[in-house]
Amino acid sequence: MILIPNIALAERPFLRLETAIPTQRGTYRLESGLTLNRLSTNHKRTELNVGLRYGLIQNLELDLEAPLLFVSNNGQNKNRLGDLLLKTKIRFIKGRVANPLSIAGQMIIKFPTAGKESLLGTTGVVDIGFLAIASKTFSPATAHINFGYYFIGNPESGNKSDQVRYALGLNFNVTDSPLQLIAEIFGQSDTSSSSPTTPDTSVAMGGFSLRAREDIKIDTTVGFGLNQESPDYIINLGGTYIFE
């Protein structure tokens, strides 16, 4: 059993959720995070992720992510660079004062750089995902919703079911403070009920983000599974550096 493959990594300070606001034109966002998952007493998974986002043009963002995986399961241990992700996000509607709703779409390509490794949950084939994103501001809070369909590549060993994935999130700006509170729920479900290949999972997270400087943010969230197939707990620590 694995927790939502690497194709689902998302925008900090969230763990699996994307916002509809792309990186500004000509600006870089360097994001890094350490995520610890306990899936059972004998199954633990740690991911060290590094991602670079760039605002290519107005309302268009490119993102490259690389995870380093550490997995321990029933006495077996495996450490390896995970599958690389290339993502592009485009905003179709920009929120305004009269209608503070932003709508965007994202395409995600997973390159199988980690090869096929059952312990790591990698398949050795390409996956492609499409994500619909909406964000709306209710000052001082902003709500986000994601809904995506992921075409899971089929390795030689057998067919894999495609997946539907969702995420709901909320960030709340504390008045006159660099602190921001965060809440997030995300999950996945196979599209084939007759032959599912991964368990349905659902997770709730909560935490905060702190702007240490104008160009630096640090964040931490903790979470737990909402059903039996989900992880016992998740701890997520990370930061963002913004530069031009």
Tell whether 94 is covered by a domain: yes
Q: pLDDT (tens digit, 0 to 9) for every residue of the chain, 244 residues total?
A: 444 455 567 899 999 999 999 999 999 999 999 999 887 778 888 999 999 999 999 999 999 999 998 988 887 888 888 899 999 999 999 998 888 999 999 999 999 888 887 777 777 889 999 999 999 999 899 999 999 999 988 777 677 788 899 999 999 999 888 999 999 999 998 887 665 567 788 999 999 999 999 999 999 999 999 988 888 899 999 999 999 9
- CATH at 89: 2.40.128.130
Query: HEC states along 170-220?
Result: EEEECCCCCEEEEEEEEEEEECCCCCCCCCCEEEEEEEEEEEEECCEEEEE
CA 81 and chain centroid, separation: 17
Tell whether 56 is covered by a domain: yes
Indicate the burial class of 41 (C-beta count within 10 angstroms; 0-12, 13-18, 19 or more): exposed
Tell whether 238 is covered by a domain: yes
- Name the DSSP letter for residue 23: P
Tell whether 31 is covered by a domain: yes
Name the pTM for this structure. Answer: 0.90
Tell whether 99 is covered by a domain: yes
Residue 106: predicted pLDDT: 97
Q: Which of 9, 1, 61, 23 is nearest to 165 (CA)?
A: 9
DSSP string, 134-160: EEEEETTEEEEEEEEEEE----TT---
Range of the domain at 173: 6-243
Number of domains in the chain: 1
Tell whether 1 is covered by a domain: no
